[in-house]
Amino acid sequence: MPYMTGDVKKDYNNSEYRKALNQVFILHIVMFCIAFTAALMAQSSAVLADSLDFIGDAMSYALSIFVINRSLAMRATVSIAKAVTMLSFGLPVMIYSMIRFNEGTAPDYAIMNYAGVLGIIAHLYCIYKLYQFRSGDSNRLSVWICTINDLLSNVITVIASQVVMFTDSVIPDIVAAGFIVSIAILGALVILKQAIQEIKNYKSERGYA
């Protein structure tokens, strides 16, 4: 996975970072509305998982804006909260996937494809805006991971839509949703690992037990 942890003490122009975060935050709110509507219309587990990624990312960006000038310990604590939230998003996707499996009907592959392609375009723009801020502490890492994860999720959704078209089966959609959730879990664990280490280092440097 193309994640970068980098130097947690590396400094950036926070006004530029804040501007970039505001832009991608607004874009993700819009894309969540589009993707969630598309998920309901297509009856797609993969698109539902993708829509939850969008709103999860929007929350991540909003929290990053809030803590942008706060202490490393505060930013690391918020990163842990982000990671826990990312882990929790898998449950509704699993429940919906089981419902769709029992129904057995294939999702609308055309809507899946359109939603996935639109998501890819949106995330390529987000990567362009956030690339220079991709390394640093766990908070910056969480923003970058969320963005990369969503791009991968969109690609998976597009691939799944093509398989659904040829097979007329719900299985590719459910498998794709499983991959998307797995990617989110992996990203959350990477964030948790760095955030916990940052808190340990922060306490150690200040002589806390």
pTM, whole model, 2 decimals?
A: 0.86
Going by pLDDT thresholds of 50, 70 and 90, the confidence category of residue 22 is very high
Going by pLDDT thresholds of 50, 70 and 90, the confidence category of residue 209 is low
Our CA angle for 72, 73, 75, nearest 5°, is 65
- Residue 43: DSSP 8-state: T
Helix (H, G, I), strand (E, B) or coil at 1: coil
pLDDT > 70: percent of the chain: 92
The shares of helix, strand and coil residues in the chain, as percent rounded to the nearest 5, are 80, 0, 20
Contact 31, 54 (CB under 8 A): yes
pLDDT in tens, 155-165: 999 999 999 99
pLDDT in tens, 105-124: 999 999 999 999 999 999 99
The two tokens of residue 180 are 């998307």
**Residue 41 parent element (H or E):** helix 14-42
pLDDT of residue 206: 74
